Amino acid sequence: MATPSAHASPRSRWASLLAAPLVASVVGSGLVLPPVAAAQETPTRPAPAQSSPTQTTQSRSTTAAPDPAGAPDAPSLRVPAAPPSGVRLDKVEWKSANRVALWVQSPAMEQAVQVQLMLPAQWNADPGRTYPSLLLLDGLRARDDASGWTLETKISQFFDAKNAVVVLPVGGESSFYTDWVSDAKGAAYQWETFLMQELPPLLARDWRVGDEHGVAGLSMGGTAAMMLAQRYPEHFQFAASYSGFLDTTSFGMPEAIKVAMQDAGGYPAENMWGPLGSDRWQEQDPKLHTEKMRGQSVYVSAGSGNTGPWDQPSGLPDIPTNFPGYGLELLSRMTTQTFVNKARAEGVEVTANFRPSGTHTWPYWQFEMTQAWPQFAAAVGIENVEKPCAAAGEIARVAERQPGLGPCLTGEYDVRGGKATDFRFGRVFWSQSTGAHSVLGAIGAAYQSEGGPDGVLGLPTSGETTTPDGRGRFSTFQNGVIYWSPSTGAHAVRGGIRAMWQERGAERGDLGYPTTDEITNPNKPGVVQGFQGGTVYWSEETGPKVVEGDILKAYREAGAENSELGYPVTDEIALDTRRGAFSRFQGGAIYWSPRTGAHVVPRGPVFDAWGTVDYERGRLGYPTGPLRNTAGGQVMEFEGGRITVSGGRAEIS
């Protein structure tokens, strides 16, 4: 439910203390058996429920367990063939050569939601192929910057040789990846709609995802994985829960979920599914709808809470120092057992691994993910044998000199103009004219975002080299260069902008390192690229020109190149008058001085009248405010007066 850290907060410790009476409540209900330390499998059938005075007393203070026979039915839903209206891809950011972050605009969530994809081994080598997907869900304390799976585990190295697209939603703290009946602290939490209605058709259309799918998750994500598999039975062939809570409405469980959601972000559980234990809660309870999983391949696991190989002993027999992880794993173990008993009674084939030890922590979930892989691979038709590969020729010699590339993931394959081989931490390209060179790390990610060898950069012509200032690195390509520094990231520079930048000293000059990629203007032919020392604008007519400082700020406020100013036709020019400066543009100029700031003077009667008195050198001096439209024309203030335009005529006063 929660994802405890190594240093649990006092609130988390307090929450873990609640687990003990809640566990007692669940066990006292007779619905589950307490875990046996050495057990690896649950019984095929659940033990008969026992009524007792204790059970009756507890039911007055906790939500009563529902009658499974009378539980509301969970609907069987379908994934649409095309993305719904309003769903679009807003942004793509490559994290490495085989991991990419997408920002998908979601009408249901009322925002762009980040989703990261770990791409299969053959992604580049076999571009015409589609792949199965695995939707991998996070825990209760999901962060907004990246999935816990990539932050806390090494699954990226596990999956890099596998041929599946791993889909990692980012965010969703305390969400259970479900559609909430009310807002979540001001946010629209409609995660099921996003994950199952909006995202899949977009991935199928644009990211080569095929027709076979699995879903898996840890803790809260394990609960959600079972829910989604039940609600979309035709979509998923595989479902897995690692330490999930798969009985959410038995005695004490709604209260336990409420406590955990309060502890993990202060989210109100009633806003998720309404009153605790209500029909909506029962509709979402995985235990109550196991019959919908017939024909699916199901994998569940849980530890016992006892001290395991990745825990520190507390000094008490079998009790680890991770008290929150101890209590939460007890709840997971018991509710998972209830789910398994019910599923098997319904004829669902379940692989259940109940470990003799282990707490509610990441190392155990990473282990279970690797253990579940063969079952997922079989369910979606992936050959669970990694084909042997070996580099050859010049590419092999580069790999021998650079052991940091890691093992190969593919054999040699054709790319435009040459050959390539993919390795765990980079790629090596070869052609007769360029030789063999590696591209790796952040520069490799930037190269992938530029289209790799199929893009405008072409093939690499050098390996990665340290910059003369010692702060960055760069790689050269047939049609450009990619520079990286810790503060700016990796960005390509090419064409006329690259030529001008190198003339000014490249990263050692006044512009410094690039801070953005080259961005094409969709409204007016031209491009723009940011650098540490200013922004470069380029068009066929004007060439590359630098705009910087307060003049750049005023230019952007005016609408930059899409405004009446158009593209810059000069760099910033220093003026003798009071240490000022100006930049000329296609449609006017921007003047600046320390006293007056930066102001736009468009072409027209005001600009022409100002010129008759020698611009900033004359009696009017620098402009002190923007050009304002009036009922009769225009007016602009200067240090030494104003220019008024009326009836097309300008007067200086």
**Residue 320 is part of a domain; what is its CATH number?**
3.40.50.1820
Instruction: Look up the domain containing 331 and give its range.
Output: 88-380
Distance of CA 388 to the CA centre of its chain: 31
pLDDT exceeds 70 at position 6 = no
Mean pLDDT of 411-430: 96
- Strand blocks (E) in 141-254: 165-169, 209-218, 238-242
Q: For position 383, what pLDDT does the model report?
A: 84
Residue with tokens 């279970």: 368
* String of DSSP letters for 565-619: T-SBSS--EE-SGGG-EEEEETTEEEEEETTTEEEEEETTHHHHHHHHTTGGGST
Run of H or E residues at 352 = strand 350-354
In-domain check, residue 134 = yes
In-domain check, residue 32 = no
Mean pLDDT of 418-431: 96
Q: For position 291, what pLDDT does the model report?
A: 96
Which of residues 121 and 58 earns the better pLDDT score?
Answer: 121
Spot the catalytic one: 219, 241, 297, 539.
219
For the question of residue 93 being annotated catalytic, the response is no
In-domain check, residue 111 = yes
For the chain, the domain total comes to 1
180 secondary structure, DSSP code: -
In-domain check, residue 224 = yes
Tell me if 217 sits within 8 A of 245, measured CB to CB: no
For the question of residue 357 being annotated catalytic, the response is no
Q: For position 27, what pLDDT does the model report?
A: 44
Q: How far is CA 51 from CA 57, 60, 108, 247, in A?
A: 11, 14, 44, 19
pLDDT band at 18 (very low <50, low <70, confident <90, very high): very low
pLDDT band at 323 (very low <50, low <70, confident <90, very high): confident
pLDDT exceeds 80 at position 7 = no
Mean pLDDT of 199-204: 98
pLDDT exceeds 60 at position 471 = yes
Spot the catalytic one: 213, 235, 360, 599.
360
What tens digit of pLDDT does each residue of 607-619 get? 999 999 999 999 9
Which region holds residue 283: left if phi is over 0, alpha if psi is between -120 and 50, else beta? Answer: alpha
Residue 400 tokens, joined: 């021998």
pLDDT exceeds 70 at position 3 = no
Q: How far is CA 283 from CA 58, 178, 227, 231, in A?
A: 23, 12, 9, 10
Q: For position 316, what pLDDT does the model report?
A: 86
pLDDT band at 214 (very low <50, low <70, confident <90, very high): very high
In-domain check, residue 406 = no
Q: For position 346, what pLDDT does the model report?
A: 95
In-domain check, residue 252 = yes
Distance of CA 575 to the CA centre of its chain: 47
pLDDT band at 31 (very low <50, low <70, confident <90, very high): very low
The Cα 212–Cα 426 span in angstroms is 28
pLDDT exceeds 80 at position 380 = yes
In-domain check, residue 168 = yes
In-domain check, residue 48 = no
Q: For position 427, what pLDDT does the model report?
A: 97
Tell me if 638 sits within 8 A of 599, measured CB to CB: no
Q: How many CB atoms lie within 10 A of CB 402?
A: 17
Q: What's the mean per-residue pLDDT of the chain?
A: 90
- Would the pTM of this model clear 0.75, i.e. be above it? yes
Distance of CA 245 to the CA centre of its chain: 25
- Half-sphere CA count of 492, side-chain side, radius 13 A: 24
What tens digit of pLDDT does each residue of 168-197 get? 999 999 999 999 999 999 999 999 999 999
For the question of residue 289 being annotated catalytic, the response is no
Q: For position 69, what pLDDT does the model report?
A: 63
Spot the catalytic one: 329, 412, 507, 616.
329
Q: For position 384, what pLDDT does the model report?
A: 78
What tens digit of pLDDT does each residue of 112-144 get? 999 999 999 899 999 999 999 999 999 999 999
Helices and strands of the chain, counted as H and E runs: 17, 29
> ∠ CA(462), CA(533), CA(617), 5° rounding?
140
Tell me if 132 sits within 8 A of 210, measured CB to CB: yes
